[in-house]
Amino acid sequence: MIDLNIQLKEIISKSILTPAKGAIDNFTHSLNPYAGCAFGCKYCYVREFPVSIFREEEWGAWIDIKSNAAELLEKELAKAKKRGKVALFMSSSTDPYQPIEYTSKLTRSLLEVMFENQPDFLHVQTRSPLVKRDIDLFQQFRDRIRISMTIETDKEEVRKAFAPAAPPIPARMAALKDIKDAGIITQATLAPLLPCSREFPAKLKSIANRVTIDDFWMGDGSGGRRTERLGIRKIFDELGLEKWYNPSAYKVVLKMLEQEFQGAPIQLGVSKTGFSPDANS
Distance CA 71, CA 52 (A): 26
Residue type (1 letter), 272:
K
Angle at CA 271, nearest 5°, toward 265 and 273? 65
CB-based contact 254:242 (threshold 8 Å): no
CB proximity list for 11: less than 8 A, separation 6 or greater: 35, 64, 65, 66, 67
pLDDT class for 157, splitting at 50, 70, 90?
Answer: very high
pLDDT for the residue numbered 55: 81
pLDDT at 50 over 80: no
Beta pairing class for 29-31 and 186-190: unpaired
CA proximity to 111, closest of 148, 146, 137: 137
Q: What is the mean pLDDT of residues 56-76?
A: 95
This prediction has a pTM of: 0.94
Pick the more confident residue, 224 or 182. Answer: 182
pLDDT for 174-191, tens place per residue? 999 999 999 999 999 999
pLDDT for 93-148, tens place per residue? 999 999 999 999 999 999 999 999 999 999 999 999 999 999 999 999 999 999 99
pLDDT at 52 over 80: no
